[in-house]
Amino acid sequence: MMTLFRRAVLPLGLAAALFVLPSAVPAGQRSYAATHGAAPFVTEHLIPGSDLDLAQVDLTLPAAKVVALTIDDGPDANDPQILDILRAHGAKATFFYIGAKIPEHHGIARLVAASGNEVGSHTQTHPMTTDLKPTEREWNLAQAEKALASVGVQAAWFRPPYGDVDGALAALARHHGMATVLWTADSQDWKDTGPDVIRHRIVERLAPGAVVLMHSTKAATVAALPAILEEGERRGLRFVTMSEWEAAMRQSVTPELALLHPAPRRH
């Protein structure tokens, strides 16, 4: 069996980690966010492998009125300007960095890491991870971990490139100390559309608990950011880091919803 073969070639500790961790997304199957554009607010699709059951989160509570902006593909020359915009609005974001780009933008990466925003891992080389052998996956995450450490970051979050993730990759990320997160709102800014289109796509899905996907590599995204933050403020939403988002979601778990939506059995 393919999965057994994969486990057999991995180091013992890693194989043990894969064995005990739940595989919410079956191995070899691309994520819901990758195939549908965005994930629903459901644990297995948004934060695969997490013990936080999003079905038990009461999104009407004041504590849940948070949005996580996630900004992928940096470090990038646009990052200092993004920091200024975030600061002007009292907002925070999470930057998912590509390890291979860190040496070239070392100063910027350090600046972002020290800014009070969060920095996560977006792998070393931005591959389609389900195409990789287990040893290549391990290399990619480990190299990114080293690159991030060179700017003082120990990532708590992992964003798979293209949302391409399976249960084994989410388990491997967890072995590296990272939770995996997809997104509920896709700016589709990589299509090189203008700021108005980007703003519209995000604002449509700007709601409590939203996780927004953007890219720091696009000037139009930077141009759209102030209006997105202003609209969020109008709706009483706070823009927080991924770790703050998770804390807010855990704080908003309610016993009533837990009874209505009991946690699914782990096999």
Task: Kindly tell me which of 56 and 216 has the beta carbon lying closer to Zn ion.
Answer: 216
Interacting residues with Zn ion between 86 and 115 (CB under 5 A):
none
If one counts every other C-beta atom within 10 angstroms of the C-beta of residue 191, the result is 11
At 121 the three-state DSSP class reads strand
Least gap, CB of 125 to Zn ion (angstroms): 11
Distance of CA 1 to the CA centre of its chain: 31
72 is catalytic: yes
CB of 173 vs Zn ion, minimal distance in Å: 15
Name the active-site residue from 105, 122, 126, 215: 215
Helix, strand or coil for residue 77?
A: coil
Query: Out of 44, 73, 76, 189, which residue is the one contacting Zn ion (CB under 5 A)?
Result: 73
Q: Of 215 and 238, which has the nearer Cβ to Zn ion? A: 215
Between 141 and 249, CB nearer to Zn ion: 141
Rounded least distance, CB 5 to Zn ion, Å? 29
Structure tokens at 59: 């999104």
Name the one residue in this structure whose structure tokens are 């990619």: 140
Of the candidate spans 67-75, 132-140, 221-229, 249-257, the one that interacts with Zn ion by CB under 5 A turns out to be 67-75
Cα distances from 13 to residues 19, 130, 172, in angstroms, run 10, 21, 11
User: Cα–Cα distance between 55 and 40 in angstroms, integer?
Assistant: 11
Using CA atoms, how far apart are residues 178 and 156, in angstroms rounded to an integer?
4
| CB contact at 8 A, 109 and 121 | no
Which among 41-49, 65-73, 76-84, 128-136 is the span making contact with Zn ion, rule CB under 5 A?
65-73
Active-site option among 53, 72, 79, 166: 72
Of the candidate residues 72, 118, 164, 246, the single one contacting Zn ion (CB under 5 A): 72
Binding mask 222-261 for Zn ion (x = CB under 5 A): ----------------------------------------
Q: Tokens in use for 131?
A: 């195409």
For position 145 contacting Zn ion by CB under 5 A, the verdict is: no
Asked whether 121 and 153 are in contact (CB, 8 A), the reply is: no
Omega prior to 75 cis, within 30 of 0: yes
Which of 48, 99, 161, 195 forms a contact with Zn ion (CB under 5 A)? Answer: 161
66 or 172, CB closer to Zn ion? Answer: 172
- Residue whose C-alpha is closest to residue 230's, from 210, 208, 203: 203
CB atoms within 10 A of CB 138: 17
The yes-or-no answer on residue 215 being catalytic is: yes
CB of 109 to Zn ion, least distance (A): 16
Q: Does an H or E element contain 120, and which?
A: strand 118-121
Catalytic residues: 72, 215
Residues that bind Zn ion (CB under 5 A): 72-73, 161
